Amino acid sequence: MSTINCKGKLIDLSQPRVMGILNLTPDSFYDGGKYSSEKSILEKVETMLLEGATFIDIGGYSSRPGAKHIEEEEELKRVLSGINLVLKHFPETIISIDTFRGSVAKKAIEAGAALVNDISAGNLDEKMFKTVAELQVPYIMMHMPGSPQTMQKFTHYEDIIQDIILYFSKKIVELRELQLNDLIIDVGFGFGKTLEQNYLLLKKLSVFKILEVPILAGLSRKSMLYKTVAINQEEALNATSIANTLALTNGANILRVHDVKEAVECIKIFEKYNA
Radius of gyration from C-alpha coordinates of the chain = 17
Burial classification of residue 91, based on how many CB atoms lie within 10 Å of its CB (0-12 exposed, 13-18 middle, 19 or more buried): exposed
Give 18's strand partners: 255
Provide the H-helix boundaries in the chain. Answer: 38-51, 72-89, 102-110, 128-135, 160-177, 195-203, 223-226, 237-249, 260-274
Contact indicator for 56, 95 with CB cutoff of 8 Å: yes
CB of 85 closer than 8 Å to CB of 102 = no
**What residues does 158 pair with on adjacent strands?**
none
Spot the catalytic one: 64, 171, 193, 222: 222
Measured CA to CA, the distance from residue 154 to residue 194 in angstroms comes to: 10
Catalytic residue among 68, 193, 256, 272: 256
SS3 label, residue 221: coil
Let me know if 256 is a catalytic residue.
yes
Query: Which SS3 state, helix, strand or coil, does residue 121 take?
Result: coil
Non-local CB neighbours of 168 within 8 Å, separated by 6+ positions: 121, 141, 143, 185, 208, 211, 213
**Residues belonging to the active site:** 222, 256
